[in-house]
Amino acid sequence: MALTMSDVARAAGVSVMTVSNVLNDRPRVGAATRERVLAVVAELGYEIDLTARRLRTGRTGTVALVVPRFDHQYYAELAALLATAFAENGHHLVVEQSNASRENELAAVSPARLRFYDGIVLSAVGLTAEDVTHLRGEVPLVLLGEQDLPEVVDHVMMANAEGARLATEHLLERGSRRIAVLGGARVGDVAGGIGPQRTAGWRAAHRARGLEPPEELVAPVSDHGSGGARGATTELFRRYPDVDAVFAVTDQLAVGALAALHDLGRRVPEEVRVIGFDNLDLLAQVPPGLSTVDPSNAWIVEQTVELLERRIADPAAPAVLRESPVRVVARGSTD
Protein backbone atom coordinates (compact mmCIF):
# COMPACT_ATOMS: atom_id res chain seq x y z
CA MET A 1 0.00 0.00 0.00
CA ALA A 2 1.30 3.46 -0.90
CA LEU A 3 2.45 5.72 1.90
CA THR A 4 0.19 8.63 2.76
CA MET A 5 0.71 11.99 4.38
CA SER A 6 -1.02 10.56 7.47
CA ASP A 7 1.70 7.91 7.73
CA VAL A 8 4.37 10.61 7.67
CA ALA A 9 2.49 12.69 10.26
CA ARG A 10 2.12 9.69 12.59
CA ALA A 11 5.82 8.78 12.34
CA ALA A 12 6.92 12.38 12.90
CA GLY A 13 4.48 13.00 15.74
CA VAL A 14 2.86 16.00 14.05
CA SER A 15 -0.42 16.81 12.36
CA VAL A 16 -1.20 16.12 8.72
CA MET A 17 -1.48 19.90 8.22
CA THR A 18 2.07 20.35 9.50
CA VAL A 19 3.36 17.75 7.04
CA SER A 20 1.47 19.53 4.24
CA ASN A 21 2.98 22.87 5.26
CA VAL A 22 6.49 21.39 5.19
CA LEU A 23 6.07 19.66 1.82
CA ASN A 24 4.60 22.81 0.29
CA ASP A 25 7.42 24.91 1.76
CA ARG A 26 5.08 27.19 3.69
CA PRO A 27 6.78 29.47 6.22
CA ARG A 28 4.60 28.69 9.25
CA VAL A 29 6.61 25.68 10.52
CA GLY A 30 9.51 25.90 12.99
CA ALA A 31 12.97 24.85 11.84
CA ALA A 32 13.24 21.87 14.20
CA THR A 33 9.81 20.54 13.22
CA ARG A 34 10.58 21.02 9.52
CA GLU A 35 13.82 19.07 9.86
CA ARG A 36 12.06 16.24 11.72
CA VAL A 37 9.34 15.94 9.08
CA LEU A 38 11.85 15.98 6.22
CA ALA A 39 13.92 13.31 7.97
CA VAL A 40 10.85 11.07 8.25
CA VAL A 41 9.95 11.73 4.60
CA ALA A 42 13.44 10.61 3.59
CA GLU A 43 13.42 7.61 5.94
CA LEU A 44 10.04 6.34 4.74
CA GLY A 45 10.68 7.17 1.08
CA TYR A 46 7.49 9.20 0.84
CA GLU A 47 6.98 10.77 -2.60
CA ILE A 48 4.76 13.73 -3.35
CA ASP A 49 2.01 13.01 -5.88
CA LEU A 50 2.44 15.94 -8.26
CA THR A 51 -0.70 15.06 -10.18
CA ALA A 52 -2.79 15.18 -7.00
CA ARG A 53 -1.18 18.45 -5.98
CA ARG A 54 -1.99 19.98 -9.36
CA LEU A 55 -5.62 18.84 -9.07
CA ARG A 56 -5.91 20.47 -5.64
CA THR A 57 -3.99 23.69 -6.22
CA GLY A 58 -3.40 24.04 -9.95
CA ARG A 59 0.35 24.01 -9.17
CA THR A 60 3.09 21.40 -8.84
CA GLY A 61 5.55 23.61 -6.97
CA THR A 62 8.21 22.64 -9.52
CA VAL A 63 9.83 24.49 -12.43
CA ALA A 64 12.24 23.12 -15.02
CA LEU A 65 15.52 24.46 -16.36
CA VAL A 66 16.50 22.96 -19.73
CA VAL A 67 20.14 23.46 -20.75
CA PRO A 68 22.13 22.20 -23.75
CA ARG A 69 24.75 20.32 -21.72
CA PHE A 70 25.34 19.26 -18.13
CA ASP A 71 29.12 19.17 -18.61
CA HIS A 72 29.50 22.90 -19.24
CA GLN A 73 30.58 24.70 -16.08
CA TYR A 74 28.62 27.84 -17.00
CA TYR A 75 25.32 25.95 -16.91
CA ALA A 76 26.26 24.26 -13.64
CA GLU A 77 26.82 27.63 -11.99
CA LEU A 78 23.66 29.07 -13.54
CA ALA A 79 21.57 26.11 -12.35
CA ALA A 80 22.86 26.48 -8.79
CA LEU A 81 21.95 30.17 -8.72
CA LEU A 82 18.50 29.56 -10.20
CA ALA A 83 17.77 26.71 -7.79
CA THR A 84 18.44 29.00 -4.83
CA ALA A 85 16.41 31.87 -6.27
CA PHE A 86 13.39 29.72 -7.17
CA ALA A 87 13.47 28.04 -3.75
CA GLU A 88 13.12 31.48 -2.16
CA ASN A 89 9.91 31.82 -4.19
CA GLY A 90 8.59 28.39 -3.14
CA HIS A 91 9.55 26.50 -6.30
CA HIS A 92 11.72 23.40 -6.61
CA LEU A 93 14.00 23.38 -9.68
CA VAL A 94 14.52 20.33 -11.91
CA VAL A 95 17.31 20.47 -14.51
CA GLU A 96 17.06 18.67 -17.86
CA GLN A 97 19.54 18.34 -20.75
CA SER A 98 18.55 18.99 -24.37
CA ASN A 99 21.88 18.07 -26.01
CA ALA A 100 21.37 21.24 -28.09
CA SER A 101 18.72 19.37 -30.10
CA ARG A 102 15.75 21.23 -31.56
CA GLU A 103 13.56 18.15 -31.11
CA ASN A 104 14.51 17.85 -27.44
CA GLU A 105 13.92 21.55 -26.86
CA LEU A 106 10.46 21.36 -28.42
CA ALA A 107 9.62 18.29 -26.33
CA ALA A 108 10.78 20.09 -23.20
CA VAL A 109 8.36 22.98 -23.73
CA SER A 110 5.36 20.97 -24.91
CA PRO A 111 2.07 21.56 -23.04
CA ALA A 112 2.25 17.95 -21.81
CA ARG A 113 5.18 18.94 -19.59
CA LEU A 114 2.85 21.11 -17.50
CA ARG A 115 1.68 17.92 -15.80
CA PHE A 116 5.02 18.11 -14.00
CA TYR A 117 6.02 21.78 -14.00
CA ASP A 118 4.45 25.15 -13.28
CA GLY A 119 6.83 26.79 -15.74
CA ILE A 120 9.96 26.22 -17.81
CA VAL A 121 13.24 28.08 -18.33
CA LEU A 122 14.86 27.06 -21.61
CA SER A 123 18.38 27.88 -22.74
CA ALA A 124 17.55 27.71 -26.43
CA VAL A 125 20.05 26.65 -29.08
CA GLY A 126 18.06 24.80 -31.73
CA LEU A 127 14.69 26.58 -31.73
CA THR A 128 13.74 28.53 -34.84
CA ALA A 129 11.82 31.79 -35.04
CA GLU A 130 8.77 29.85 -36.26
CA ASP A 131 9.02 27.48 -33.29
CA VAL A 132 9.00 30.37 -30.85
CA THR A 133 6.04 32.03 -32.54
CA HIS A 134 4.01 28.84 -32.02
CA LEU A 135 4.99 28.70 -28.35
CA ARG A 136 3.25 31.95 -27.48
CA GLY A 137 0.72 31.29 -24.74
CA GLU A 138 1.31 27.51 -24.78
CA VAL A 139 3.32 27.21 -21.55
CA PRO A 140 4.70 29.59 -18.89
CA LEU A 141 8.14 29.96 -20.46
CA VAL A 142 11.25 32.12 -20.23
CA LEU A 143 13.93 31.73 -22.89
CA LEU A 144 17.59 32.17 -22.09
CA GLY A 145 20.36 32.30 -24.58
CA GLU A 146 21.93 33.58 -27.65
CA GLN A 147 19.29 33.34 -30.36
CA ASP A 148 17.78 36.41 -31.99
CA LEU A 149 14.15 35.28 -31.69
CA PRO A 150 10.72 36.93 -32.05
CA GLU A 151 9.61 38.94 -29.04
CA VAL A 152 6.51 36.84 -28.43
CA VAL A 153 7.69 35.00 -25.30
CA ASP A 154 9.67 36.25 -22.32
CA HIS A 155 13.39 36.21 -23.11
CA VAL A 156 16.45 37.07 -21.03
CA MET A 157 19.35 37.56 -23.43
CA MET A 158 23.07 37.92 -22.94
CA ALA A 159 24.79 40.80 -24.76
CA ASN A 160 27.06 38.45 -26.69
CA ALA A 161 28.27 40.70 -29.47
CA GLU A 162 28.85 43.61 -27.10
CA GLY A 163 30.72 41.43 -24.61
CA ALA A 164 32.94 40.05 -27.37
CA ARG A 165 33.57 43.56 -28.68
CA LEU A 166 34.66 44.68 -25.20
CA ALA A 167 36.94 41.65 -24.82
CA THR A 168 38.62 42.29 -28.17
CA GLU A 169 38.91 46.01 -27.45
CA HIS A 170 40.61 45.10 -24.16
CA LEU A 171 43.24 43.16 -26.13
CA LEU A 172 43.67 45.85 -28.78
CA GLU A 173 44.20 48.50 -26.11
CA ARG A 174 47.11 46.44 -24.77
CA GLY A 175 48.81 46.32 -28.15
CA SER A 176 47.66 42.95 -29.46
CA ARG A 177 47.07 42.87 -33.21
CA ARG A 178 47.01 39.18 -34.17
CA ILE A 179 43.97 38.21 -32.13
CA ALA A 180 42.50 34.76 -32.70
CA VAL A 181 38.90 33.93 -31.80
CA LEU A 182 38.71 30.40 -30.39
CA GLY A 183 35.29 28.79 -30.86
CA GLY A 184 34.40 31.41 -33.44
CA ALA A 185 32.27 31.14 -36.56
CA ARG A 186 33.72 31.71 -40.01
CA VAL A 187 32.00 33.92 -42.58
CA GLY A 188 29.12 31.95 -44.08
CA ASP A 189 28.80 29.52 -41.18
CA VAL A 190 25.15 28.86 -40.29
CA ALA A 191 25.75 27.37 -36.85
CA GLY A 192 23.57 28.69 -34.05
CA GLY A 193 24.59 29.41 -30.49
CA ILE A 194 27.18 31.80 -29.20
CA GLY A 195 29.87 31.45 -31.88
CA PRO A 196 28.43 33.74 -34.58
CA GLN A 197 27.39 36.53 -32.22
CA ARG A 198 30.65 36.60 -30.30
CA THR A 199 32.65 36.46 -33.52
CA ALA A 200 30.61 39.42 -34.77
CA GLY A 201 31.73 41.39 -31.72
CA TRP A 202 35.37 40.44 -32.41
CA ARG A 203 35.01 41.74 -35.95
CA ALA A 204 33.28 44.94 -34.83
CA ALA A 205 36.11 45.82 -32.43
CA HIS A 206 38.69 45.53 -35.21
CA ARG A 207 36.67 47.59 -37.67
CA ALA A 208 36.02 50.31 -35.09
CA ARG A 209 39.79 50.89 -35.13
CA GLY A 210 40.07 50.77 -38.89
CA LEU A 211 41.57 47.27 -38.81
CA GLU A 212 40.54 44.38 -41.02
CA PRO A 213 39.65 41.36 -38.88
CA PRO A 214 42.18 38.55 -39.48
CA GLU A 215 39.64 35.99 -40.69
CA GLU A 216 42.28 33.26 -40.91
CA LEU A 217 42.47 33.41 -37.10
CA VAL A 218 38.83 32.37 -36.61
CA ALA A 219 39.22 28.92 -35.04
CA PRO A 220 35.99 26.88 -34.79
CA VAL A 221 35.91 24.12 -32.18
CA SER A 222 33.77 21.02 -32.67
CA ASP A 223 34.09 19.87 -29.05
CA HIS A 224 33.42 22.79 -26.72
CA GLY A 225 35.16 21.14 -23.79
CA SER A 226 38.64 22.24 -22.79
CA GLY A 227 40.14 19.18 -24.53
CA GLY A 228 38.85 20.25 -27.93
CA ALA A 229 40.10 23.78 -27.32
CA ARG A 230 43.56 22.50 -26.42
CA GLY A 231 43.89 20.71 -29.74
CA ALA A 232 42.44 23.61 -31.73
CA THR A 233 44.85 26.06 -30.09
CA THR A 234 47.85 23.84 -30.78
CA GLU A 235 46.87 23.63 -34.45
CA LEU A 236 46.23 27.38 -34.59
CA PHE A 237 49.74 28.20 -33.35
CA ARG A 238 51.30 25.60 -35.64
CA ARG A 239 49.80 27.44 -38.61
CA TYR A 240 50.05 31.00 -37.28
CA PRO A 241 52.89 31.28 -34.75
CA ASP A 242 52.60 35.10 -34.79
CA VAL A 243 49.27 35.08 -32.91
CA ASP A 244 49.69 37.39 -29.92
CA ALA A 245 46.27 37.06 -28.26
CA VAL A 246 43.36 34.62 -27.98
CA PHE A 247 39.76 35.56 -27.36
CA ALA A 248 38.02 32.33 -26.34
CA VAL A 249 34.24 32.55 -26.71
CA THR A 250 33.81 30.73 -23.36
CA ASP A 251 35.95 30.42 -20.25
CA GLN A 252 35.89 26.65 -20.69
CA LEU A 253 37.58 27.04 -24.08
CA ALA A 254 40.05 29.49 -22.55
CA VAL A 255 41.19 26.76 -20.14
CA GLY A 256 42.11 24.59 -23.12
CA ALA A 257 43.93 27.50 -24.74
CA LEU A 258 45.98 28.12 -21.59
CA ALA A 259 46.89 24.42 -21.40
CA ALA A 260 48.01 24.40 -25.04
CA LEU A 261 50.10 27.54 -24.60
CA HIS A 262 51.80 25.95 -21.60
CA ASP A 263 52.57 22.87 -23.73
CA LEU A 264 54.00 25.12 -26.45
CA GLY A 265 56.18 27.06 -24.02
CA ARG A 266 54.39 30.34 -24.79
CA ARG A 267 54.26 32.70 -21.81
CA VAL A 268 50.94 34.25 -20.75
CA PRO A 269 50.52 37.23 -20.89
CA GLU A 270 54.08 38.20 -21.92
CA GLU A 271 53.89 36.51 -25.33
CA VAL A 272 50.20 35.72 -25.71
CA ARG A 273 47.26 37.34 -23.96
CA VAL A 274 44.15 35.23 -23.28
CA ILE A 275 40.63 36.35 -22.43
CA GLY A 276 37.47 34.28 -22.03
CA PHE A 277 33.74 34.88 -21.60
CA ASP A 278 31.49 33.77 -18.68
CA ASN A 279 33.39 34.82 -15.52
CA LEU A 280 33.36 31.32 -14.01
CA ASP A 281 34.09 31.47 -10.29
CA LEU A 282 36.84 28.85 -10.25
CA LEU A 283 39.00 30.50 -12.90
CA ALA A 284 39.45 33.67 -10.88
CA GLN A 285 41.51 31.60 -8.42
CA VAL A 286 43.75 29.67 -10.84
CA PRO A 287 47.06 31.37 -11.79
CA PRO A 288 47.57 33.54 -13.74
CA GLY A 289 43.87 34.43 -13.26
CA LEU A 290 41.77 34.42 -16.42
CA SER A 291 40.59 37.74 -17.80
CA THR A 292 37.02 37.35 -18.91
CA VAL A 293 33.71 38.95 -19.77
CA ASP A 294 31.24 39.00 -16.89
CA PRO A 295 27.72 38.35 -18.29
CA SER A 296 26.05 39.38 -15.00
CA ASN A 297 24.72 35.98 -13.98
CA ALA A 298 23.14 37.31 -10.80
CA TRP A 299 21.18 39.81 -12.91
CA ILE A 300 20.18 37.08 -15.39
CA VAL A 301 18.91 34.89 -12.55
CA GLU A 302 16.98 37.74 -10.93
CA GLN A 303 15.27 38.66 -14.20
CA THR A 304 14.53 35.03 -15.11
CA VAL A 305 12.85 34.24 -11.81
CA GLU A 306 10.88 37.49 -11.85
CA LEU A 307 9.62 36.90 -15.40
CA LEU A 308 8.68 33.24 -14.90
CA GLU A 309 6.85 33.89 -11.62
CA ARG A 310 5.02 36.75 -13.36
CA ARG A 311 4.15 34.52 -16.31
CA ILE A 312 2.85 31.73 -14.05
CA ALA A 313 0.64 34.24 -12.22
CA ASP A 314 -0.53 36.04 -15.37
CA PRO A 315 -0.32 33.93 -18.56
CA ALA A 316 -1.76 36.79 -20.65
CA ALA A 317 0.88 39.38 -19.67
CA PRO A 318 2.77 40.95 -22.61
CA ALA A 319 6.09 39.35 -23.52
CA VAL A 320 9.26 40.99 -22.21
CA LEU A 321 12.80 41.02 -23.66
CA ARG A 322 15.68 41.89 -21.35
CA GLU A 323 19.40 41.95 -22.18
CA SER A 324 22.08 41.58 -19.55
CA PRO A 325 24.79 44.18 -18.93
CA VAL A 326 28.35 42.97 -19.61
CA ARG A 327 31.80 44.10 -18.52
CA VAL A 328 35.43 43.01 -18.82
CA VAL A 329 37.09 41.61 -15.69
CA ALA A 330 40.85 42.07 -16.20
CA ARG A 331 43.17 39.56 -14.52
CA GLY A 332 46.64 38.16 -14.99
CA SER A 333 46.13 36.50 -18.38
CA THR A 334 46.03 39.89 -20.12
CA ASP A 335 47.75 42.29 -17.70
Confidence of residue 328 (pLDDT cuts 50, 70, 90): very high
Looking at residue 6, its pLDDT comes to 83
Q: Judge whether 5-57 and 62-158+296-325 match in fold.
A: no
The three-class DSSP label of residue 100 is coil
Looking at residue 71, its pLDDT comes to 83
Percent of the chain with pLDDT over 70: 92
- What digits encode the pLDDT tens for the residues 63-114? 999 999 888 889 999 999 999 999 888 888 999 999 889 999 999 888 877 7
Q: Alpha helices of the chain — where are they, by DSSP H?
A: 5-12, 16-23, 31-44, 50-57, 73-88, 102-108, 129-135, 160-173, 194-208, 226-239, 251-264, 297-313
Looking at residue 229, its pLDDT comes to 94
Does domain 62-158+296-325 fall under CATH 3.40.50.2300? My reply is yes
Name residues whose C-beta falls within 8 Å of residue 222's C-beta, 6 or more positions apart in sequence: 228
Question: Thinking of the domain 160-294, which architecture would CATH place it in?
Answer: 3-Layer(aba) Sandwich (3.40)
The three-class DSSP label of residue 329 is strand
| Domain segments of the chain as ranges | 5-57, 62-158+296-325, 160-294
Please provide the CATH number assigned to the domain covering 5-57. 1.10.260.40
